[in-house]
Amino acid sequence: MTNVLGRKLTSLNGKWQVIIDPNDAGEGVGIGKDAKAKGKTDFLEYSFDETTTLNVPGDFNSQMPELTYYESSVWYKKTFTYHKTDKRLFLHFGAANYIADVYFNGEKIGSHEGGFTPFQFEITDKVKEENSIVVRVNNQRHKDGIPAMGYDWFNYGGLTRDVNLIETPATYIVDYFVQLKKASLNQIEGWIKLSGNKAKQQVRLLIPEAKINYVITTNDTGYAHYELKAKLALWSPWQPKLYSVQIKAETDSINEAIGFRTIESKATAILLNGKSIFLKGVNIHEEISIEKRKAINEKDALQLLTAAKELGCNFVRLTHYPHNEYMVRLADKMGILLWEEIPMWQNIAFGEPGMQSRMENMMKEMIQRDQNRSSIIIWSMSNETRPTPARTASLISLASVVRQKDSTRLIASALNHINFNKNVVTIDDSLCSVLDVVGVNAYLGWYRQWLAEPKDYVWQSPFNKPLIMTEFGAEALYGHHGSADTASNWTEEYQEHVYKDNIVMLKNIPFLSGTTPWILYDFRSERRMNGTYQKGWNRKGLLSDKGEKKKAWYVMKTFYDSIP
CA distance 496 to 478: 12
Q: Let me know whether 497 and 368 are in one domain.
A: yes
Task: Decide: residue 180, CB within 10 A, 0-12 exposed, 13-18 middle, 19+ buried.
Answer: buried
User: What CATH number does the domain containing 52 carry?
Assistant: 2.60.120.260
Residue 464 lies in a domain: yes
Contact 512, 469 (CB under 8 A): yes
Instruction: Encode pLDDT of 117-154 as tens digits.
Output: 999 999 999 999 999 999 999 999 999 999 999 899 99
Task: Give the other-Cβ count within 10 Å of 468's Cβ.
Answer: 25
Last residue of a domain, one of 135, 168, 201: 168
CA distance 458 to 55: 52
Q: Cα 164–167–171 angle (5° rounding)? A: 140
CA distance 550 to 543: 6
pLDDT at 49: 82
Task: Give the other-Cβ count within 10 Å of 219's Cβ.
Answer: 11
CA distance 45 to 37: 10
Q: Let me know whether 427 and 455 are in one domain.
A: yes
Q: Let me know whether 59 and 198 are in one domain.
A: no
How far is the first Cα of the chain from the last one, in angstroms, to the nearest whole number? 39
CA distance 479 to 545: 12
pLDDT at 347: 94
Residue 271 lies in a domain: no
Kindly give the parts of the chain with pLDDT less than 50: none
CA distance 348 to 336: 30
Q: Let me know whether 151 and 250 are in one domain.
A: no
> Residue 433 carries which side chain, given as an amino acid letter?
S
Contact 115, 139 (CB under 8 A): yes
Task: Give the other-Cβ count within 10 Å of 63's Cβ.
Answer: 15
Look at the chain and report how many structural domains it folds into: 3
* Distances, alpha carbon 544 to alpha carbons 59, 68, 524, in Å: 22, 21, 11
CA distance 490 to 483: 9
pLDDT at 550: 98
Last residue of a domain, one of 217, 235, 261: 261
The dihedral over CA atoms of 508, 376, 271, 231, expressed in degrees to the nearest 10, equals: -160
Q: What are phi and psi of 493, to 5 degrees?
A: -65, -40
Q: Let me know whether 235 and 299 are in one domain.
A: no
Q: Let me know whether 105 and 217 are in one domain.
A: no
User: What CATH number does the domain containing 488 carry?
Assistant: 3.20.20.80
Residue 176 lies in a domain: no
* Distances, alpha carbon 65 to alpha carbons 3, 24, 61, 69, 433, in Å: 36, 19, 7, 9, 48
pTM exceeds 0.75 for this model? yes
Tell me which residue of 343, 309, 377, 332 sits closest to 513, measured CA to CA. 377
Task: Give the other-Cβ count within 10 Å of 496's Cβ.
Answer: 20
Q: Let me know whether 257 and 335 are in one domain.
A: no
Tell me which residue of 420, 406, 413, 522 sits closest to 475, measured CA to CA. 522
Tell me which residue of 306, 307, 344, 340 sits closest to 324, measured CA to CA. 340
> Residue 24 carries which side chain, given as an amino acid letter?
D
3-state SS of 228-291 is EECCCCCCCCCCCCCEEEEEECCCCEEEEEECCCCEEEECCEEEECCEECCEECCEECCEEHHH
Last residue of a domain, one of 261, 293, 315: 261
Contact 412, 382 (CB under 8 A): no
Tell me which residue of 197, 190, 191, 205 sits closest to 168, measured CA to CA. 197
Residue 273 lies in a domain: no
Residue 175 lies in a domain: no
User: What CATH number does the domain containing 197 carry?
Assistant: 2.60.40.10
Stretch (H or E) spanning 336: none
Q: Let me know whether 115 and 236 are in one domain.
A: no
Q: What are phi and psi of 102, to 5 degrees?
A: -115, 130
Residue 358 lies in a domain: yes
pLDDT at 202: 98
Task: Decide: residue 284, CB within 10 A, 0-12 exposed, 13-18 middle, 19+ buried.
Answer: buried
- Give me the domain span that covers residue 205: 183-261
**DSSP secondary structure string, 175-236?**
EEEEEEPTT-SSEEEEEEEEESS----EEEEEEGGGTEEEEEE--TTSEEEEEEE---PPP-
Contact 126, 105 (CB under 8 A): yes
Q: Let me know whether 152 and 215 are in one domain.
A: no
Q: Let me know whether 200 and 99 are in one domain.
A: no
Q: Let me know whether 293 and 365 are in one domain.
A: yes
**DSSP secondary structure string, 369-432?**
HHTT-TTEEEEEEEES----HHHHHHHHHHHHHHHHH-SSSEEEEEE---EEETTEEE---GGG
Q: Look at strands 275-276 and 263-266 and give their pairing.
A: unpaired
Residue 269 lies in a domain: no
Q: Let me know whether 400 and 430 are in one domain.
A: yes
Residue 173 lies in a domain: no
DSSP single-letter state for residue 460: E
* Distances, alpha carbon 206 to alpha carbons 40, 214, 228, 406, in Å: 64, 6, 12, 22
